[in-house]
Structure 1
């Protein structure tokens, strides 16, 4: 587990894409929920979902009017990470630049700590 700052930063690209996606929705209170669970080819995997409520054990991070939320348990593995959005030849997707990951799979969806 990480002893570093319990923060999750949001890149400019991720903030812009989230603003665009949330602007397409009828519910302006939605936020992106990032969680980590066991599984995937490397041990842990990231999940991205839209949510409209923060729970009691959640941490909420904001940039340029968009919010990203994660639970306390996931934050143990996300601390010091950056949520980014990549749009290149292989596709467009959210990704996590995670300094706690000792290795990751080729698709970037799973990692080991």
Structure 2
């Protein structure tokens, strides 16, 4: 694992991950991955991780670790993971400066 400042976790996202992890009795480790698919070409996938893998790149905020694999980091470098609550619901969102376009739901993007 290596530490990076090339992707960040907002305080809101860190607090939400900590609350979810505590409720589920897991470690506060959030994995962000990018998969092919979605309405714009790529889609974000979030999930709690049990451990940090050797090739993961990590950033830590308020005791919460955000991890990405090297391929995902190439697609989201310079971005931030946030947790946003609105009238439409609550969700993790990625502010990704590498995305050329995205979809209305905010879960997929294209480069």
Q: Same fold by TM-score, threshold 0.5 exceeded? A: yes
User: How far apart, CA to CA, are the structure 2 residues paired with 1:6 and 1:107?
Assistant: 27
- Say if 1:6 and 1:76, in contact at 8 Å, map to a contact too: no
TM (normalized to structure 1)? 0.90
Runs of 4+ in 1 over 2 A off after TM superposition: none
- Aligned pairs for 1:46-65 (under 5 A) are 46-65=44-63
Aligned-residue Cα RMSD (Å) equals 1.4
Q: Structure 1 residue 18 and structure 2 residue 44: aligned?
A: no
3-state SS, counterpart of residue 24 of structure 1: helix
Specify the alignment match of 1:8 in structure 2: 7
3-state SS, counterpart of residue 15 of structure 2: helix
Runs (5+) with no aligned partner, structure 2 = none
Runs (5+) with no aligned partner, structure 1 = none
TM (normalized to structure 2)? 0.91
1:30 CA drift (Å): 4.2
Count of matched residue pairs? 108
3-state SS, counterpart of residue 100 of structure 1: coil
- Say if 2:33 and 2:68, in contact at 8 Å, map to a contact too: yes
